[in-house]
Structure 1
Amino acid sequence: MSLTADEATADVAELLFLEPGELDRRLDLREQGLDSVRTMELVDRWRRAGVSDISFVLLAEDRRLERWLDLLREMQGGGAAGAAPAGDARLRTCIATVSLGGTLAEKLDAAAAAGFDGVELLDADLQGSPLPAADVAARCAELGLSIDLYQPFRRAEGLGAAEFDDALTRFRGELDVMAELGTSSILVVSNTEADADPDPDVSARQLATLADTAAARGMTVTFEALAWGTHIGRLSEAWDVARRADHPALTVAVDTFHLICRGEGAGTVAEVPTEKISLVQVSDAPWRTGDLAQWSRNHRCLPGDGEFDLAGPLAAVLAGGYRGPLSLELFDPDLRRRDPAEVAARGAAALKKLVDRAGAGV
């Protein structure tokens, strides 16, 4: 390996003004004094040492030194942190709670029973639940589920200065909720209002400010282009803004619906560096014409039940070394009327079948 475990441990210890032997490998490094700024410094050091795929987002997933050393070993030895073959157990799966009907408690039980590793938690599901955020976190822990992402945060970029100040206040409030949930990533979606500023540099500066605010609390921002976004409606446009922002705590989401319905595909995905993709959302859909938002909110079905080519884009993601989470995000009123356990089980099976198919291109 170009970077040994001893060297990595020494790097961490140096930033904390400790001796390597004083570090607790099983304790969250934040509790030992390692903040986000120092974590970013480690990312820079380890990239210069040859671990080119290391990122702030990967380190933020689990902040124990023992996990970081495993991750570095895997990345340099061709293991889980390298290109993950389709069907590999290390590819994490999750399901968005918006995909299922029922109460939040029923949705979590269904996700766990179906074998998902985690959930994307919709803010409306949390707000509509009698369970406070801390209890939701505890229930997920009991079920063996991670909360991979909290979503969505709207009206966040392309704003005038005064409104962006208000958005930043709202954003800090959402970070407070995330701290109670124990999750570290928030999904920010592109501006869909007619008055959105068209200047990509404005959006980039505002997203960088959000990422700075999140990183100060050990959190990250995942940016998603909604297909009906006023100026940012394609993955290529979201990546252009994220590239301009150039912030280690800012990544993009690949959503198969938004990608395909706007005419993009595997080639677009391949242009985004894998370390800058922190979420892949999967759904199928029938081909339709007309309003994109209504198409999205009412016709996003299980993989295999629609007409989209999902295997091509997913194969491109996996070929680049993406490790997850791979999330099932459905918007289908009929599915939400059904037993959430049934839908989650069908979803897990459909996702596995899709990953197996995508493996032909890996």
Structure 2
Amino acid sequence: MPALNFALNHMAAPTLSPGDFFALSRKLGVRDVEIRNDLAGNAIVDGTPAAVVRALAVENGISIASINALQRFNEWNDARQAEAVELADYARDVGARALVLVPVNDGSGQGDGERQRNLRTALSALKPILSDRGITGLVEPLGFEICSLRSKREAVEAITAIDGTATFRMVHDTFHHHLAGESELFPEMTGMVHISGVDDPALRVSDMRDPHRVLVDAGDRLDNVGQIRALVAGGYAGPLSFEPFAPDVHGLADPVVALAASMDFIRSRL
């Protein structure tokens, strides 16, 4: 088993400023991070210039793997295009390699034929925006039953159909993969892996939500270890990015200890 490339999504410690988040990553020996545009009172939402965040990353020896995320990307309209251009510009200027693309997740746009058409329309429009700036688009299917893009197979087919393999890859999220019940992995089309666990033994899969997502440990019900093993065996060598949403994780006094323990657990099982 090759060395694992652990990464940190800012959701692992969302109350930290970018500088403190990068310092946390450095303490853990983690080089790749994902920054977010949905953390109130934090960059990017507070208007912090990309150059400032980029300088903080360089100072800490950190590489920005992605910005997470352009929401509702497959509901393409003038407002979405303007948002995509703004985020792609920020990604370029901050030195990020990729922009995560999150689909509509409110029960709309799910019709057979409609969802595939909407996906292709959005990817076709995003392709020049991203490629002109040297940014990879990371399509993230979500496992929730109300999501307009649950299937990685549909994502791969759409990327291929618009000749987008030079611009797009997928996010394999271990939580969403489990919820979607899809067996195929597509490691060759994966550009980012998000990892989080669910420990609650009484929770039905259909009732699992973001606040249930904790750090991966021995109680994990999502088979993170099995998913990671299969992806690596299939040739995936990219970031494995911790993305826990549970309030208990966000409230940890010392996330370094908990994150290091989860990394050690995953390594020991692989």
Report TM bin, short chain.
0.7 to 0.9
Aligned to 1:216: 132
Over 6 Å off, 4+ runs: none
After TM superposition, give the deviation of residue 101 of structure 1 in Å.
4.1
* CA–CA separation in structure 1 for the residues paired with 2:97 and 2:226: 29
TM-score (normalised: structure 2): 0.86
Describe the shift of the 1:236–1:281 C-alpha distance in structure 2 as closer, same or farther (beyond 3 A). same
After TM superposition, give the deviation of residue 103 of structure 1 in Å.
2.5
Describe the shift of the 1:152–1:344 C-alpha distance in structure 2 as closer, same or farther (beyond 3 A). farther
TM-score (normalised: structure 1): 0.66
Count matched residues: 258
Structure 2 residues without counterparts, runs of 5 or longer: none
The answer on whether the counterparts of 1:225 and 1:238 sit within 8 Å (CA) in structure 2 is yes
After TM superposition, give the deviation of residue 195 of structure 1 in Å.
3.4
Aligned to 2:228: 314
After TM superposition, give the deviation of residue 206 of structure 1 in Å.
1.6
The answer on whether the counterparts of 1:156 and 1:164 sit within 8 Å (CA) in structure 2 is no
Residue 103 (structure 1) aligned with residue 16 (structure 2): yes
Matches within 5 A, 1:29-44: none
Describe the shift of the 1:129–1:291 C-alpha distance in structure 2 as closer, same or farther (beyond 3 A). farther
The equivalent position to 2:204 in structure 1, one of 289, 302, 306, is 289
User: SS where residue 178 of structure 2 aligns?
Assistant: helix
Residue 92 (structure 1) aligned with residue 5 (structure 2): yes
* CA–CA separation in structure 2 for the residues paired with 1:92 and 1:201: 35
Describe the shift of the 1:296–1:234 C-alpha distance in structure 2 as closer, same or farther (beyond 3 A). farther
User: SS where residue 127 of structure 2 aligns?
Assistant: helix
* CA–CA separation in structure 1 for the residues paired with 2:67 and 2:262: 24
Query: How large is the RMSD of aligned CA atoms in angstroms?
Result: 2.2
User: SS where residue 252 of structure 1 aligns?
Assistant: strand
* CA–CA separation in structure 2 for the residues paired with 1:312 and 1:291: 21
The equivalent position to 1:334 in structure 2, one of 248, 266, 270, is 248
* CA–CA separation in structure 2 for the residues paired with 1:165 and 1:227: 27
Aligned to 2:148: 231
The equivalent position to 2:213 in structure 1, one of 300, 322, 328, is 300
The answer on whether the counterparts of 2:179 and 2:206 sit within 8 Å (CA) in structure 1 is no
Q: What amino acid is aligned across from residue 131 of structure 2 in structure 1?
A: A
Aligned to 2:178: 260
The answer on whether the counterparts of 2:50 and 2:94 sit within 8 Å (CA) in structure 1 is yes
- Which shows bigger deviation, 142-151 or 243-252? 243-252
Aligned to 2:33: 119
Matches within 5 A, 1:52-201: 85-86=1-2, 88=3, 91-104=4-17, 105-123=19-37, 124=39, 125-128=42-45, 131-157=48-74, 159=75, 163-196=76-109, 198=111, 199=114, 200-201=116-117
Larger radius of gyration: 1
